[in-house]
Amino acid sequence: MSDIIQLLPDHVANQIAAGEVVQRPASVVKELLENAIDAGATTIKLIIKDAGKTLIQVIDDGKGMSTTDARLSFERHATSKIRTADDLFQLHTKGFRGEALASIAAIAHVELKTKQEQDDVGNTIVIEGSNVVSQEVVVTPKGTSIAVKNLFFNIPARRNFLKSNTVELRHIIDEFHRVALAHPNLSFAMYNNGSETFNLPISNYRQRIVNIFGTKTNEKLVPVDEDTEVLKISGFVGKPEYAKKTRGEQYFFVNDRFIKSAYLNHAIASAFDGLLKNGTHPSYFLNLKVDPQTIDINIHPTKTEIKFDDEHTLYALLRSAVKHSLGQFNIAPVLDFERDSNLDTPYSYNNTQTSTPTIEVDRSFNPFQEEKQRGKQTTAFKPTPNNWDSLYVGLESKGTKTQQDFSEVHFESEESTGSLFSEDKQIDNIQTTYQLHNKYIVSTIKSGMLVIDQHRAHQRILYEDFLKNMTIKEAVSQQLLFPLQLHFSVQDIEIINQLKEDLEHTGFIFSSVNKESVEIIGVPVSVPESEVSIILEQLISDVEHEVPDTHFSATDLLAKSMAKSLAIKTGQSLQKDEQEHLVNRLFACKEPNVSPTNRTTFVTMSVDELDKKFI
């Protein structure tokens, strides 16, 4: 048989390599910014159009390239940064693999302009899909400009695979933040579709963080500083009370390189042990300086993972440095968070309920169109629909026995003790509900018993309300006595802007949306003023997690998020009528069986099943 192995042509090899290096526009941003830093630039500009799908351009004032280097830079494994394999363990540059420019040029239209300081003129090269289209002399300032246009133009599958502009832009901003945070000693600017999104002058580290995440961040930061023989740690952690529901603001830099490390993240999380509300994550901006010989960066093409020689020591040092800072700044002792309530500790609620607001759910009921036509009060509950009524039908005939079995389960409700074995009362009051452990609402139905998860059920009710309001674009607002001023980071404001219209359809009224703050003068009737900032924060965090691609899903996400924030919580005790209203409203929903996030809202247990348990 003849030989069948062939060497791949360069442009094919480059395209394959590009798949590893360039996953999305943000990957190009990272590579270009890093090249600018390696070139010794002090001012770096990033220009983006259409979330990088049309244009990604980085302009720097670094050392530029000679005519030959300019051409060579697009060859695979062409690098000025290392010469031998040993150099891999002495790295002081971001790049070293010499494949970024080759990869990018293989899958986009690239235009390079570059000039070295001592030269009068520079060079411009145009490359499209690895083919050099032109190379000319050009008048250009000192430094380098690389414009990457029409990314993935020759790989339609990859181009189609890209997410919405919102998503891709968020990835780009993330990369920009990472690089800018690692280098407060350089000035950065970012322009998106012609307008300036970030302007970050040279500053100290704290100021850089504040310039990115908003002025309010300043008061949240606790400095961390530890200098040992093995490593130097500097930076900040966020005060525990500002911990977020997302892991968004967690930055580790090792020798000025952004690194992902679940292990070291754990070290920090454990330093916060006992200080955080359940489900929240601390912010941190930490720089580790280690001897380059003790790490290996070359374990992943995107260089965001790293191997440390002595991970255990690092873990211990990091943990104690953070702990020390939290203690030193008196963070630890003054905190006394209410622990998250759950069923494991059902009897502790008596003590923890003091701060729980009384249920406001019922007033939240936004009138459905039909009800208005029928002239109902806004607070009225919908009559139970057929299917729900039918659950009760026939209870009279069979109910006595059912109820007796049922009553033997211990419920924490006066009603249950009062009505124990009182047959008449049960027949009259067939919709009796009991609240179990301030978490479940138990009721009787024709075939046995019904157990409803109060938090999930209420989420379902609110979700359908909000969705309806947003769809019919008609919501009832309550005017605030004083405008509410809330501060956010620039990118959070971006998210609020995207959702503003939908938020307005739920009843929010914004008097202004500025660069880092919003002013609110009206809120949905169901939303207590004190909850507004929590709701918006939750919403932003949800959007970051589950980025909506279409307008429909943005509306849906907003309804889900607000429902989650406003739903009565597990641990909240409900009055009798509140329990009944909740049950009735749940079964008036279109999809009462599941919460907006598809979790079961109620279960039933038939008398037969119960009987089996008593055999």
Cβ proximity of 395 and 384 under 8 Å: no
Q: Is there binding between residue 78 and ligand ADP (CB under 6 A)? A: yes
Write down the least CB distance from residue 32 to Mg ion, Å: 8
Region near Mg ion per CB under 5 A, out of 27-35, 197-205, 399-407, 562-570: 27-35
Q: At 575, list the tokens.
A: 């009055």
Q: Which of 293, 152, 183 is nearest to 231 (CA)?
A: 293
Q: Is there binding between residue 388 and ligand ADP (CB under 6 A)? A: no
Q: How many CB atoms lie within 10 A of CB 150?
A: 16
Angle of helix 165-182 versus helix 490-506 axis, rounded to 10? 150
Cβ proximity of 537 and 448 under 8 Å: no
Question: Which of ligand ADP, Mg ion, none is residue 124 near (CB under 5 to 8 Å by kind)?
Answer: none
Write down the least CB distance from residue 21 to ligand ADP, Å: 9
HEC assignment per residue over 436-460? ECCCEEEEEECCEEEEEEHHHHHHH
Q: How many CB atoms lie within 10 A of CB 602?
A: 22
Write down the least CB distance from residue 65 to ligand ADP, Å: 5
Helix, strand or coil for residue 321? helix
Which residues inside 248-287 make contact with Mg ion, applying CB under 5 A? none
Q: Is there binding between residue 28 and ligand ADP (CB under 6 A)? A: no
Cβ proximity of 187 and 200 under 8 Å: yes
Question: Which of Mg ion, ligand ADP, none is residue 62 near (CB under 5 to 8 Å by kind)?
Answer: ligand ADP
Q: What does the DSSP assignment read for 42-84?
A: SEEEEEEEGGGTSEEEEEE-S----HHHHHHTTSTT--SS-SS
Q: At 519, list the tokens.
A: 């002013």
Q: Is there binding between residue 35 and Mg ion (CB under 5 A)? A: yes
**Binding residue (CB under 6 A) for ligand ADP from 18, 33, 39, 554:** 39
Strands (E), 270-320: 284-290, 295-296, 307-308
Kindly write out the interface string for residues 520-559 of this chain, putting x where it contacts Mg ion by CB under 5 A and - elsewhere.
----------------------------------------
Q: Is there binding between residue 140 and ligand ADP (CB under 6 A)? A: no
Own/partner pairs, 201-207, CB within 8 angstroms, 24+ separation = 202/42, 205/234, 205/235, 205/236, 205/285, 205/287, 206/236
Write down the least CB distance from residue 75 to ligand ADP, Å: 8
Question: Which of ligand ADP, Mg ion, none is residue 39 near (CB under 5 to 8 Å by kind)?
Answer: ligand ADP
**Binding residue (CB under 6 A) for ligand ADP from 18, 100, 147, 535:** 100
| Helix H or strand E encompassing 506 | helix 490-506
Q: Is there binding between residue 95 and ligand ADP (CB under 6 A)? A: yes
Which residues inside 126-165 make contact with Mg ion, applying CB under 5 A? none
CA 541 to chain centre: 4
Angle at 102 between CA 97 and CA 106, to 5 degrees: 145
| CA distances (Å), origin 391, targets 261, 445, 448 | 53, 5, 9
Q: At 285, list the tokens.
A: 């901006």
Choose between 35 and 459: whose C-beta lies nearer to Mg ion: 35
Choose between 35 and 444: whose C-beta lies nearer to Mg ion: 35
Q: Is there binding between residue 95 and Mg ion (CB under 5 A)? A: yes
Choose between 35 and 402: whose C-beta lies nearer to Mg ion: 35
Question: Which of Mg ion, ligand ADP, none is residue 381 near (CB under 5 to 8 Å by kind)?
Answer: none
Region near ligand ADP per CB under 6 A, out of 75-83, 127-135, 218-226, 409-417: 75-83
Region near ligand ADP per CB under 6 A, out of 35-43, 408-416, 434-442, 604-612: 35-43
Write down the least CB distance from residue 34 to ligand ADP, Å: 7
**Binding residue (CB under 6 A) for ligand ADP from 62, 184, 301, 596:** 62
Choose between 10 and 501: whose C-beta lies nearer to ligand ADP: 10
Write down the least CB distance from residue 167 to ligand ADP, Å: 25
CA dist 254 and 92 (Å) reads: 11
Write down the least CB distance from residue 57 to ligand ADP, Å: 11
CA dist 158 and 179 (Å) reads: 25
Q: Is there binding between residue 543 and ligand ADP (CB under 6 A)? A: no
**Binding residue (CB under 6 A) for ligand ADP from 23, 66, 67, 80:** 80
Choose between 32 and 589: whose C-beta lies nearer to ligand ADP: 32
CA dist 226 and 220 (Å) reads: 20
Helix, strand or coil for residue 605? strand
- Residue 513, beta-bridge partner list: 518
Choose between 79 and 438: whose C-beta lies nearer to Mg ion: 79
Choose between 100 and 563: whose C-beta lies nearer to Mg ion: 100
CA dist 401 and 416 (Å) reads: 15
**Binding residue (CB under 6 A) for ligand ADP from 26, 60, 255, 588:** 60
Q: Is there binding between residue 73 and Mg ion (CB under 5 A)? A: no
Q: Which of 357, 365, 356, 358 is nearest to 584 (CA)?
A: 365
CA 484 to chain centre: 24
Going by their DSSP bridges, the two strands 43-49 and 55-60 should be labelled as: antiparallel
Q: Is there binding between residue 97 and ligand ADP (CB under 6 A)? A: yes
Choose between 78 and 167: whose C-beta lies nearer to ligand ADP: 78
Question: Which of Mg ion, ligand ADP, none is residue 80 near (CB under 5 to 8 Å by kind)?
Answer: ligand ADP
Write down the least CB distance from residue 112 to ligand ADP, Å: 8
CA 139 to chain centre: 45
What φ, ψ does residue 31 adopt, rounded to 5°? -60, -45
Q: Is there binding between residue 537 and ligand ADP (CB under 6 A)? A: no
**Binding residue (CB under 5 A) for Mg ion from 26, 41, 48, 100:** 100
Which residues inside 144-163 make contact with ligand ADP, applying CB under 6 A? 144
Write down the least CB distance from residue 133 to ligand ADP, Å: 19
CA dist 67 and 513 (Å) reads: 48
Choose between 21 and 267: whose C-beta lies nearer to Mg ion: 21
Choose between 36 and 318: whose C-beta lies nearer to ligand ADP: 36
Q: Which of 389, 440, 445 is nearest to 411 (CA)?
A: 440
Residue nearest to ligand ADP (CB): 95
Choose between 75 and 519: whose C-beta lies nearer to ligand ADP: 75
CA dist 592 and 519 (Å) reads: 36
Binding site for Mg ion (CB under 5 A): 35, 95, 100
Binding site for ligand ADP (CB under 6 A): 31, 35-36, 38-39, 60, 62-65, 73, 78-81, 95-102, 144
